[in-house]
Each structure stands twice: as C-alpha cells, then as structure tokens.
Structure 1
Amino acid sequence: MARAEAAVRMAYGSVSASPTVHACITEKCYAALGGRGEMGKVFGQRILLSPRGLNWHFLAHEWSHAEMSTRLTLFAWKRMPQWFDEGLAVVISEAPEHSENHWQFLISTRIPRPSRDELLTYQSLQQWLAGVHRFGDDKNFERVAQGQPTLSPVYSDAGREVRPWLAQVGSHGLLHVIQQMNEGADFEAAYTPQTLSPSTPTP
C-alpha cells in the first residue's frame, strides 16, 4: 500500500483518493466479487485485486484510476480518453508486464500490436476493451494456465505513448490537463501543446 501510494503521489504530486482495497487469494473469490481475467479492477473508490495481481504494481495501477476519477468532474471524466487513463496507470505502476522491455519482446517475437494511430482511437471504455480483445491482452489468464508468457500489446503501447510525455511535463503537466478538462477544454487541446519540446514553435 505504501509503495503504491508513493507511486501515485510521484505522478500526481499528491494523493486525493483513499480507496478501500479487497485482495482475493483465490480465483473463486475474485470471480464472486465481479472479477474476470484481469489482474485487478477498480469500482469508484474500491479496488479489487486478483490472486495474480497481489503486488504494489497492480495496486498502483488501479489506484491511479481511482485518483483520476477523484480529481475529474463527472463531465470531464466521461471525456477522458481511455488510452490516456490506462497509459498513465501503466506508467505509474511500473509493472514488468507492461514495460518497455515487454514492448521490445513483442517486437522481437513479431506479436501483433496496435499502431499509434489505432491506439489513439481507443477513446471510450468499449473501444479500449475491443482493442484489448483484438490483440489478446485479455487472454493472459489462459496463457499462464498453459505455462505461456503473458502478452500485453495494448497496455504496453499505451504506456509507451504516455511515458515520455509524463517524463517531460511531470505532475505539473498532468494537473494542467486535469484542470483544463475540468474547465471544459477538450483533451487534445489540453494534452497536445505539452508534447511540444521547448524548441518547437507553437502553431
């Protein structure tokens, strides 16, 4: 809990969410509480971890979602692109399963993965889940059961998109995006200018 909270604080500058965490030690428990094949889930200010996600990485991932929903108005939260919310959670979690090393493994083994243009179309939760299903991120429960390595093309791609942006703008830039969206700005208007380097002229 302490390590996950510290990771969220590092990205956001402070921690507003205080989620209640339910950690299942059996798959039966996880399924009974609404879990499926994923490592963990978040329901508002409640986090549910599967037996496969009992570490700070996946707790921090779900905590990032809780933090984002706490800081955004309902109107802004509904407009936040899913790829960004997930990519930020990936970066904060530092989970090896979604890391740059995993991305390089996907490339070297020629595992299908979304292009950047396709990733940016995953705006809604439904579009995100469709992409996750298409590229097989949701098949890891079966893979692990068969002794195969986990594959996370979509989550890794989202992390790869957000990681350099967050490294450049830091918590100040992240909070700027949140503030702008809360004030009614579109995500693209709040996010895109901060991807520019200091030497890049603003259009």
Structure 2
Amino acid sequence: MTELFDDPAMVKLWNAYFSEFDKLSAPLGDEGRELRSDLERHVMESIGAQPATGNPAQQLKVALKRLGRPIDYLHPILGERYISRATHTYSPVAVGKGLFHTILAGGGRLLAASLFCLGYLFIAVFAVIALSKPFWADNVGLFRAPDGTIAAGIVAETAGHQEVLGWWSIPIALALAMLTYLLLTKGLGRLIRTQ
C-alpha cells in the first residue's frame, strides 16, 4: 500500500509500523492479514479526516499514533489465540505464550492469568519431586513424623520419620502433575470464553 505515497518519509513510517505489525501478528495467519487490511483502511481514513497541513508525513504520524503501537492491541488477541490453541492441543508452548500475552495485555484477565501461572508452577513442583526421588530417596516422598505430622515433597530432615509411599511417590507426583495440567488448561479455555 506504500505505492500510494510519494513522500519517502511516509513510506518509511508506514513500512516501519506495518513491519512491526506483521512480525507480531504472524501467528494469527489469515486473521492477522485481515486485521492489517482493516488497520490500513483506518489509517488512510484518519489521514483524510485531518485538516490539510502541507505535511503528509506528519499526518501519517498522527494517524499511527492514534492507532497505538501494534503490541498494545495485539497482546489480548494473541493471548486468546494461543490459549484457544492450548485448550485443543495441550501444548505447553501455547500455554506459556497465551499466559505471557494475557498477562502483558493487563486488564481484567491479569489476576486470573497470574493465578493460572501459579497453578502451572505447582506442576513444575510435582515434576521436580518425581524426578528427585531416584537421587534423594531418603528425602523425597510423603513422610510421617513420630508425633503424627505429615510432610510431603522434598524434606530436609527425615531422621525418625517414616516414608509412607516409597517409590510410589514418583508415579503419584507425575499423575498429579498431569491431572493438574489437564485441569488448568481446560480452565484456561473457560477463562477466554467467559471474558
């Protein structure tokens, strides 16, 4: 669309803005191309609505400034797209990118996305527990103290404690990690649909 401009400054502004947009919107595919087309029309209408100043590059700059930086309005769209993909594929990469963009978008979903991040942190804890058992068998598992209190996970002091689960702590921790992952990822889909 830069062929509409004779001014090299306008071509440079346009290309800089929309190359950033293209880079960020690449994961959106056809939706991103359609959004770009809408934005281009919007910018051209915004330029046409401004009073003639004799400085078309300045008018383009004003129109692009009104539109805002691409990253600011693409975060929520990308967050929704990645989370939607994650609820179908259960891909950890899609979950991570979806939460990243949702948190950076801010707004009403910020707290919910942060809580989901905390939930995914618990998954990492379960996985660390399972992977640590073969290396620190005496300190990883479910322990009962002589006074009846129970400690689970990686426990520093286990002298006098009874290990309740033994090697079963590995499949139990992995099952808890998997179940938590499935439930959280399904919950992410609901987060997107309800807001």
Question: What's the TM-score once normalised by structure 2's chain length?
Answer: 0.30
Greater RCO (CA < 8 Å, at least 6 residues apart) = 1
Question: What's the TM-score once normalised by structure 1's chain length?
Answer: 0.30
